Structure 1
Amino acid sequence: MVYAHNKQVRVAVLDDHPMVRTVFELCLKHEPDIQLVGAWASSNELFNQLKSTVVDVLVLDFLLGERELDGLALVKQLRNHYPQQKILISSSMESPAIIKMVLSAGVKGFIGKSHNMPEIVHAIRQVALGRLFLSKEVAYEVENLYVMSEDALDTSLETCSKGNIYERVKTLSPREMEVVRCFLDGLSVSQIAVKFKRSRKTVSGQKQSALKKLGLRSDSELFKYSQDLLSGY
């Protein structure tokens, strides 16, 4: 069935894996309402091409290669330069906490790389129409991510007020703050270890030390106060 749309949806893809870009090129050419206007491998190439290429929906891989601007930092920079740009995240990292963060940053949809191409095409069309897209499973997980009892919520707010967070961030060492920033950008402990050429054990220890200094008990609480943490440093 041909999708009813007044014009072709101009789609661009950013992914550092050549095979992923090739799959998009092969599959999207069979969609009469979609035009692939770019398939790029790096964030530098992305920003250079966006200067002269009109894109309706940008399909963005959340994690790119080493020394690449990616994750939440890339989303924020795109939103600063192109606030009207519709972004669909396609990623193998389907953490509800990360998904909630990128949605808060202005992303219009998220679909895991475990989904097949027809599902991704459907997500592109929904985002092109200005609709928020999440798979049913992801939507449920995100909605229930921070469900707490009233008592637990009161305790959390009492012990982790913005003022307290601002002061506690200042107690972190530079390396602990690096780990926190990367973790909030969606990198795993193993990926952070590779990025900074440290052992996984060292990075894990720095993350746990940071949580203790901040008075936080879990990764979910860390993500919950992410904006306060980063703005307070």
Structure 2
Amino acid sequence: MDLLHSLPTLGAILGTFLLAGLVKGVIGLGLPTIAMGLLGTLMPPAEAAALLVLPSLVTNFWQFMGGPALPPLLRRLGPMLAAVALGTLAGVWAGLLPGRGGATVGLGAALLAYAAFGLLPLRLPAVPPRAEPWAGPLIGLLTGLVTAATGVFVLPAVPYLHALGLERDRLVQALGLSFTVSTLALAAGLATGGGFGGNALGGSVLALMPALAGMALGGWLRGRVAATTFRRCFFGGLLLLGAHLVWQGVGA
């Protein structure tokens, strides 16, 4: 993957990460979803996932380290996070993210499901504390497998974390923590399979700068744009993008 061979492709990649970082800066998530969705129209999902590693890792580390004290949250979410890592590694090693076609359909389907969750009044029932010891690992394992198959970290972890009833700062921190574990596991899986070599690492470093710039801009915009309006536009765009990727994958 030599990004410098095609300046239009390079420009599209940098613009994608600028947009994805902006979205994350405004609403606290969306960088992998936007990046994988748009890059999935330019390259195989496995290559897009490799580009995503450093921008996702750095922005999510920034997100969870800026929240309240970590130890109580780590104790509560530890089993889920361990299962996320296990499921992601198992899925990558099993070859769930092989290239175009089926992987593109899977990514499109994940985006459609996530958009539907955001646009419709759908919420999981509150998870009682007694259910967390088994529900957390189950959700983590499923999230890891979806991550391995699509490069998107949000399902079903995001709805589950919402259902835990965490207050806003804790929720944003929990999302950043979950996404960080997913990113590290995805990077480890890709590296052991040869999918995160020198070219991919260089591209990921290049993508980091626009992602950070977009996140800073998004933080500035957060207090100036109505959150509900932005979320509707965001999820509406994901709905169209997911439909396009499913159509593209079916025709591949």
User: Same fold by TM (over 0.5)?
Assistant: no
The structure whose Rg is larger is 1
**Greater fraction strand:** 1
* TM bucket normalised to smaller: under 0.3
Relative contact order higher in (CA < 8 Å, ≥ 6 apart): 2
**Greater fraction helix:** 2
TM-score using structure 2 length: 0.26
TM-score using structure 1 length: 0.28
